[in-house]
Amino acid sequence: MYNGIKSIDHPVIAIADMDASHDTFEKLGFTIPPRGSHVEWGTGNWCIMFPNDYLELRGVIDPTRYTVNLPELLAARGECLMGIAFGTIGAQETYDQMVAKGLHPKEVRQLTRNFELATGWVQPRFSLCFPSEADAPGLMHVVVCEHLTPELIRKPEYLDHANGVTGVISMTGVIDDFDRVEQAHMRFLGPDAVQRTEDGLILTLASGQVINLITAAAYDRVYGVKEQPQTPFFGSIRLAVKDIMVTSQVLENNGVAFEVVNDGSLRIGPDYTCGIIMEFTEGA
C-alpha cells in the first residue's frame, strides 16, 4: 500500500437536489441510509453503503458555509462525478509518507458528519488527508479518508440492496497530459500501481479496484460520448452485483432504461443516474 493508500473508499457524485437524487438512486434499486450533513461544511450527503466502500451523493444544504466549490462545479458541468476518496491505513500515516517522498499534502484535518437518524442524530468522524492537485492529477477533487467510527454508518440493513450491488469495481475518466499524470501517480500511488496503455493509464489499487484514465477518443469509443466536458473529468462507475438477472429485473420494474454491453454488463446512461454512466457487472 504505497503512501498508505489501499482502495477506492468512495466515489463522490455532485448533486443539485438532495431529495431528487434520493429518489433517483432509490429507483436504481439502492437502499439509502438517512441523510448526512457535514458539521464543518455546508454540504450534506446520501451515502449508499457496501461492505468495503460506498457511493457518496453530495449536495449543498447551507450555501453560506464552505461547500468544497460544489455550486461552481454544478454551474459549470451539472451533476457529475466530482472526485474520489481513497481508503487508507491512516490519514496521518499517508500524510507522513507523502511528505517523506517530497509530496505536498495539506495538514490532516478532522471532519464530523451528523447522521440524521429518526431515533436521534449520531456523529460519524473521519480523519482526512488532502493531496495537492499536482501530486494527484486527473482525479478531480481528491481526499484520503480514514473512518474513525465506521460502525455508525456501515450497518447490515444499509448493505442489502434490491439491485444486488456489493461494491465499486472501477471508475473511468478522461485526461490529456498523460506523461505528467503518469509520473505523478508513480509517486502518489506507486510505480507498481501505474500501467501505460495505448488508450491511457490504468491505476490499480491494493484492493484490486481500478481507475482508468483514458483519451477522449477512447472514451467516445467505449461509451459513445463525443461531446465531453473539459478535461480532466470522471464519467463512469462500474459496480459489482450478485446476480445480473435480478439487477435487470429491478431496473425494468422501476422503468430505468439500460443496455447490455459486450461483456454482459448492464449500462445506464446519465439521464437516470444524476449525470454519470453507471455499469453493473456480475461476479467481479
Which pLDDT does position 163 carry in this prediction?
A: 98
Which pLDDT does position 283 carry in this prediction?
A: 81
Which pLDDT does position 221 carry in this prediction?
A: 97
Distance CA 212, CA 4 (A): 20
Residues 6+ apart with CB under 8 A from 279: 236, 237, 238, 239, 261, 265, 266, 267, 268
Which pLDDT does position 132 carry in this prediction?
A: 96
* Residues lower than pLDDT 70 in the chain: 284
Which pLDDT does position 284 carry in this prediction?
A: 66
H or E stretch at 178: helix 178-188
Give all domains of the chain, ordered by start, each with its CATH number: 2-158 (3.10.180.10), 165-282 (3.10.180.10)
pTM for the model: 0.97
Which pLDDT does position 196 carry in this prediction?
A: 98
The model's pLDDT over 7-43, given as tens digits with 9 standing for 90+, comes to 999 999 999 999 999 999 999 999 999 999 999 999 9
The cell for 183 is 509520473
| 42: amino acid identity, one letter | G
The cell for 152 is 455508525
